[in-house]
Structure 1
Amino acid sequence: MRVLVGGGTGFIGTALIHLLKARGHEVTLVSRKPGPGRITWDELATSGLPSCDAAVNLAGENILNPLRRWNEAFQKEVLSSRLETTQLLARAITKAPSAPANSSSPGFTLGTW
């Protein structure tokens, strides 16, 4: 199976990619940084979804970032980082010739936004 993973450089994404590859799946990572086996979010926006059977989005600012204060500005940054990548991936999926199965992180933060 060909799997697209957004946010695959984090803790969960790294483990997921390792597991998928160990089971023989082909993985393409969507990342801010280009590299082998990767496409950037900008490339996804301009070139569209590469051929894949499934898409998983785990992208977003780490809410447990020890270098950041949990204040209103950071809360907005966390929310924005998740919404923007999910919206971009959703747009790419709707334009794809054949839509893959999709899963996004169910995690969210409670609070007043």
Structure 2
Amino acid sequence: TCVQAVKEAYDEATDKVDDVKVTELLTERGLIKDKRAMPFVQAFKKRMSQFGAQIAFRRTLPFSEGQVLREILPYLKKSLGLVDVEVLSVEEARQNEGGAGYSKNIIDSSEPGSPAFEYRNV
């Protein structure tokens, strides 16, 4: 995966990622052809600088993102004029994938710290 390539190219002593090595690893694994790979790597490196390498590699947040989103549901509904709001984990959304309003692209773009949103007309 892209995260594994970044991890292998990461030097803990200097706290830097060798971009050339990342590109080589992605090429070896056939991931470089995926046009989403490099933007993901750049976003992941930004996440490393924000939260630290160890938190980024664990792919977790120092807080419960789902809980925070659920706590602000009343505000979201009122401020955006929404009839209903659902907060789903990626796993929950994948169970409904292909159903009305459950887009694979939206589900795949969601990651810790960067939730994806989908709006539907009712």
Fold-level similarity (TM above 0.5): no
Bigger share in helix: 2
Greater RCO (CA < 8 Å, at least 6 residues apart): 1
What's the TM-score bracket when you normalise by the shorter of the two chains?
A: under 0.3
Bigger share in strand: 1
- Please give the TM-score of this superposition, normalised by the length of structure 1: 0.25
- Bigger radius of gyration: 2
